[in-house]
Amino acid sequence: MVPEINLLPNLEKKKASPTLLYAVIIAITAIALAYMIFLYFGAKSDISTLSKQEQNLTTQRGELQQKLDATNNVNAGSLAQSVKFVENVSYPVTPLIAETQVLLPEHTYVRGYTFDDESVTVTIDFETMNDISKYVEKLGASNYFRDTQVDTIENFDVALGEQTDDKRLEDKFKEIPRYTVTTKLFIDYSYLARGGEG
């Protein structure tokens, strides 16, 4: 009897499960790697955008800081100027106001006063031009003021209220216009400092 010797290797079917397992692991790794690459480029883009925004905000902050400093300097300057003005130009205003009101003719109305370091500006309503000239003459003779300067004279109509057109025209011819006068009065400091005496 001849023995059977099979020199060929035994061919058995390999199991497919390890190959499928490797394929799934490789696919999951590839997906994870692709996701990480996507996250990396997204983060890089976000960093670039945020860096630009940071630069813009830093520039804006610098500009706003400069504006704030400039505003603070202006306010400090104006405050310092105001203090200096008050220290250098402190004089009693009550005698000046009293003098301008004592000299007023009847039926006049003082609208306001403006004071500066050398003068007082008075705005007054008068009934007639004659009253204006008498008042300016009295101010010129006052010891409180070195000089008198009439800046503006403007006329205005007194409001007559609700009336018909015919009545309004009739009353307009009867009406005498009033005048608003702005007068600049230059202060005599030596007389004011003595309290209005001699």
Q: For 79-135, write each residue's pLDDT tens digit.
A: 667 666 666 666 778 888 888 888 888 888 888 998 887 888 999 998 888 888 899
Give the rounded percent of residues in the chain with a pLDDT score beyond 70: 73
Does pTM top 0.85 for this prediction?
Answer: no
Is the same domain home to 39 and 60?
yes
At residue 5, the 3 state secondary structure works out as coil
Segment 180-190 mean pLDDT = 88
**Of all helices (H) and strands (E), which one includes residue 7?**
none
* pLDDT grade for 197, boundaries at 50, 70 and 90: low
Q: Are residues 135 and 82 in the same domain?
A: no
Per-residue confidence band for 75, with pLDDT thresholds at 50, 70 and 90: low
- Point out the domain boundary residue: 88, 121, 145: 88
Q: How far apart are CA 147 and CA 149, in angstroms?
A: 7
Specify the pLDDT at position 77. 60
- Asked if 57 and 81 sit in the same domain, the reply is yes
Each residue of 11-24: pLDDT tens digit?
665 555 678 888 88
**8 part of a folded domain:** no
Whether 198 is in a domain gets the answer no
Same domain? 112 vs 176? yes
Q: Please, which pLDDT band fits residue 39 given cuts at 50, 70 and 90?
A: very high
Domain residue limits at 39: 16-88
- Establish if 155 belongs to a structural domain: yes
Q: Is 60 exceeded by the pLDDT of residue 140?
A: yes
Which of 64, 88, 112 is a domain's end point? Answer: 88
The per-residue pLDDT for 14 is 57
Report the 10 Å Cβ neighbour count for 127: 17
104 and 189 share one domain: yes
Same domain, 113 and 174: yes
Question: Quick one: 103 and 161 in the same domain?
Answer: yes
Q: Are residues 118 and 138 in the same domain?
A: yes
By mean pLDDT, which of 54-63, 71-80, 123-132 is the weakest?
A: 71-80
Q: Given a cut of 90, is residue 59 above it in pLDDT?
A: yes
The total number of structural domains that make up the chain: 2
132, 82: one domain: no
State whether 106 and 80 are in the same domain: no
Are residues 50 and 138 both part of a single domain? no
DSSP annotation of 117 reads S
Let me know if residue 50 belongs to a domain: yes
Q: pLDDT class for 61, splitting at 50, 70, 90?
A: very high
The answer to whether residues 136 and 184 belong to one domain is yes
Phi/psi zone of residue 33: left (φ > 0), alpha (ψ -120 to 50 degrees), beta? Answer: alpha
Question: How many beta carbons lie within 10 A of that of residue 42, not counting itself?
Answer: 10
Q: Which of 33, 65, 88 is the last residue of a domain?
A: 88
